[in-house]
Structure 1
Amino acid sequence: MISLLATVPALALVMSTGGAAEAHGTPMKPGSRTFLCWQDGLTDTGEIKPVNPACKNAQAVSGTTPFYNWFSVLRSDGAGRTRGFVPDGQLCSGGNTNFTGFNAPRNDWPLTHLTAGATVDFSYNAWAAHPGWFYIYVTKDGFDPTRNLTWNDIEDRPFLSVDHPPLNGSPGTVEADYAWTGQLPAGKSGRHIIYMVWQRSDSAETFYSCSDVVFDGGNGEVTGIHEPGDPADPVPGTCTATRRTTGNWSGGYQSEVTVTNSGDVPMLGWMVDWTLPAGQTVNSLWSGNATYTGQNVMVHNADWNGSLGPGQSATFGYVVSGAGGDTATTLPCRVG
């Protein structure tokens, strides 16, 4: 067994902590299917070769790319929606077809052992930085993991809601996370799924995840995966972004940014951020989803141009008003 959770002092079920949550990732405590299958399949060379039967099946259905992008089970149009939005049988992928293999109803997914009613540490990986809320649900009594997971299997209300928890560590690493404590539901026994929904407060982007657990008196031990190496070393891909001015006029200009998968593994999404020169604002932007904070601009891929194999590229463009142009030719780029 691998111990990933610890019992800690009690905390209210609904928390509002200071600071800004900056989340883009997946649960690590209790680990989601994508995170634990990535750990299970990780080799010393950075290749993914799952050992767990359910993880191997997920690879057979969806390929290896979701293992390198374990933090990207998201819907850019989610807006926090759950029932009536994510279809039954697709809860663990959030309806994102890139992760269809992780919806499979099986009883051999990696498993976290817990104690009903205990107060534990939760950890949600922070691969990128965005504010938001976390809603944590659990399946109803009598849940059968060998049947398709539907919304009728999930308790109507979350047993824990977390409002903008603080960020620990540097985004873009496995160590970075949002950590909080909370009480697990009492009276549970046997196999269940803890279902987490993370809703950004600065865009409609919403993340969904399934963590397979068993309430058997455990303290966060994980079974069903082989002993991983150091999960902090491998980086799930790299990308580069180059900017060029495609037109300019008095009081404004137009630019195009080319994002290239510069790594040797596929990726499902990318992020580019930069700071506009003083006095400039973006009037319009296409082929990407943008967030603006003062002069800071962050652009995520659109639904259709985030999946890039090694060496492949995508572009987005934007129009700026304001004098002075922009001399930048490269912009910071991250996978996610």
Structure 2
Amino acid sequence: MILTTLRQSRPARRPSRRLTTWALFLVLVSLLTTLPAVALVVTAGGRAEAHGTPMKPGSRTFLCWEDALTDTGEIKPVNPACKAAQQAGGTTPFYNWFSVLRSDGAGRTRGFVPDGKLCSGANPNFTGFDIPRNDWPLTHLTSGATVDFSYNAWAAHPGWFHVYITKDGFDPAKPLTWDDMEDTPFLEADHPPLHGSPGTVEANYSWTGRLPANKSGRHIIYMVWQRSDSAETFYSCSDVVFDGGNGEVTGIHDPGNPTDPVPGKCEATRRTTNSWSGGYQSEVTVTNTGDVPMLGWMVDWTLPGGQKAASLWNGSATYDGQDVMVHNADWNGSLSPGQSTTFGYVVSGDGGDTATSLPCRVG
């Protein structure tokens, strides 16, 4: 399959790894204009692996993070809408640009997410990104063009992507409601392939599809990512304008091409709190070891042979044989630098566990 990419044009700067890839758009787009103008469902042999947000076209949280990031890693937004989001919710949502999620979403949209809260998914940490304004960072597109959609892959989860768009006449200066959205997605992706290593800014999964035809002016592309292994669902708004563009982004400050930082760090330590013949109980302490606040964490490890998790509390777990992945619960994901929380679990099986350190990622 031939893929195109949305190319982002910025003021003069040193080329980044992402921009060198996006420049392929001009060469390839002419080869793709003959593809059928239909919504595309992508099915791949691999699993969709993501915990993130759209990068092409960039979501409000992603582009505002890029706008606000300084050479020192501090958050200082320049774009007026991004500034308003910071005033409403502080800088924590900027460091956690990949975490606009609802743990109870189960893929639900209309009737679940209230009008006026679509961009945050009604997640109170991101209400600043629901503010109706016409000066959010903007991606310039061509109606009916075939392009590559890219979604950051911060952590590994299988799932589907549903891509909606606003109706003609949408006004970005008014609160976004479900009546503003087209009733059905114009494109859906079923477990698209992963590119790169999760836990980095560059990691992404992508799929090719055609943009809606006969669109002009301002719109919002609304993406819903629904995990297939849990009820966790991600929501995002990407502000676009159909004006003949090829993916250029305007309204964003160029921070001088800094090195992409890891948005926070965490550490997980395990200890056995009780044991008996045929099982044991453990406690895991998760600590924010970075210098920025975080809104969520995940710990994953493999239990020793012959063992199985029987129960777990203070976290949301996904099991695949002896592989265990634990996300924070709704009440213990927000950790300031140096702050810790715990979760516990019971294992059935002989042998205990000697591990004292477990892999931990922010997300």
TM-score (norm 1): 0.98
1:190 corresponding residue in structure 2: 217
1:115 corresponding residue in structure 2: 142
Using the alignment, how far apart are the partners of 2:141 and 2:135 within structure 1?
Answer: 17
Question: Could you tell me how far 1:121 is from its partner in structure 2?
Answer: 1.2
Cα distance change on mapping 1:219 and 1:72 into 2, 3 Å = same
1:134 equivalent among 127, 149, 161: 161
Q: 1:195-224, CA deviations, whole angstroms, 9 ceiling, x for partnerless residues? A: 000001111110000000000010000000
Structure 2's unaligned 5+ residue stretches are: 1-8, 11-18
State the SS of the aligned residue for 2:334: coil
1:65 equivalent among 86, 92, 96: 92
1:255 equivalent among 257, 282, 295: 282
Question: Could you tell me how far 1:232 is from its partner in structure 2?
Answer: 5.0
Contact 1:22/1:129 (<8 A) preserved: yes
1:175-324 matches, within 5 Å, as 175-230=202-257, 233-324=260-351
Using the alignment, how far apart are the partners of 2:127 and 2:321 within structure 1?
Answer: 38
One-letter amino acid of the structure 2 residue matched with residue 320 of structure 1: V
Identity of aligned residues (%): 81
Contact 1:42/1:229 (<8 A) preserved: no
1:163 equivalent among 176, 184, 190: 190
Question: Could you tell me how far 1:19 is from its partner in structure 2?
Answer: 1.2
Aligned residue pairs, count: 336
1:97 corresponding residue in structure 2: 124
1:77 maps to 2:104? yes
Cα distance change on mapping 1:231 and 1:174 into 2, 3 Å = farther
Using the alignment, how far apart are the partners of 2:307 and 2:46 within structure 1?
Answer: 28
Question: Could you tell me how far 1:235 is from its partner in structure 2?
Answer: 1.1
2:13 corresponding residue in structure 1: none
Contact 1:257/1:317 (<8 A) preserved: yes
One-letter amino acid of the structure 2 residue matched with residue 33 of structure 1: R
One-letter amino acid of the structure 1 residue matched with residue 113 of structure 2: V
Cα distance change on mapping 1:179 and 1:231 into 2, 3 Å = farther
Structure 1's unaligned 5+ residue stretches are: none
Report the aligned-residue RMSD. 1.2
Question: Could you tell me how far 1:14 is from its partner in structure 2?
Answer: 2.1
One-letter amino acid of the structure 1 residue matched with residue 222 of structure 2: Y
Using the alignment, how far apart are the partners of 1:288 and 1:231 within structure 2?
Answer: 35
TM-score (norm 2): 0.91
1:18 corresponding residue in structure 2: 45
Q: 1:145-200, CA deviations, whole angstroms, 9 ceiling, x for partnerless residues? A: 00000011010000000000000000000110001110000010000000000001
Contact 1:39/1:231 (<8 A) preserved: no
